[in-house]
Chains A and B, each alone.
Chain A
Amino acid sequence: GAVVSQHPSRVICKSGTSVKIECRSLDFQATTMFWYRQFPKQSLMLMATSNEGSKATYEQGVEKDKFLINHASLTLSTLTVTSAHPEDSSFYICSARARARKVTEAFFGQGTRLTVV
């Protein structure tokens, strides 16, 4: 149980276009979802936290107009990178917290490698 599916696993887009990444909890209700960014050989940095039905809370330095996060249901959160540029190329990982589990349990998606050309 507690599976998080992230899609797509890899995406290449042209500079200036937008790309959407989906994060789904397959067998549980995700009250909170987290979006992280990981540069090569570096750690995971929290970008934003989203709760179902409310606006996402962004970390300092993360542009909310560039990284649009929507958490419209208890099983789906999306991250849209708008007007992507090469510097947005990175590995994006979502994680979800389950309603019925310990608040500190985080279940991770498999990540999305974004390349902007």
Chain B
Amino acid sequence: AQTVTQSQPEMSVQEAETVTLSCTYDTSENNYYLFWYKQPPSRQMILVIRQEAYKQQNATENRFSVNFQKAAKSFSLKISDSQLGDTAMYFCAFTFSSNSGYALNFGKGTSLLVTP
């Protein structure tokens, strides 16, 4: 079974500062994909960043970057220059080819609060 663990239920960061959200996962698959999704109060799921497991280079999207440690099965998200609009729930997610056709397996989420 594939599991995704987010050990930080809540985090807080000041505007313009940097914050790192942790995620670990467990799988026996070799070919898989990892994601970070943001869910603001509107509850619309928004893709933040994705990483293919076969790629060694860490993915980066503007202020968002990941630290992908495949051997350690770790996939942390770094948010630089935090903005008030970054306040949201952040979910780490995992997928691979399976009977569920690349359905996403989510962690429990980290609630991030960005303060002025």
| A residues apposed to B, CB below 8 Å | 32, 34, 38, 42-46, 49, 51, 57, 59, 91, 93, 95, 97, 103-104, 106, 108, 110-111
Contact = CB atoms under 8 A, between A and B. Distances in A.
Interface string B82-116: 00000000010001010111111111110000000
Contact of B33 (A32, A43, A59, A104): A104
B108 A43 contact: yes
Interface stretch (B14-22, B40-48, B55-63, B70-78): B40-48
B100 A49 contact: yes
Given A42-B108, A43-B108, A104 B43 contact: no
A43 B107 CA distance: 7
Given A43-B91, A43-B108, A44-B91, A104 B44 contact: no
Q: Chain A: interface secondary structure?
A: strand
A51 B100 contact: no
Interface of B: 33, 42-45, 47, 50, 91, 95, 97, 99-109
A108 B91 contact: no
Contacts of A104: 33, 50, 95, 102
B100 A46 contact: yes
A32 B109 CA distance: 25
B102 A108 contact: no
Contacts of A95: 45, 104
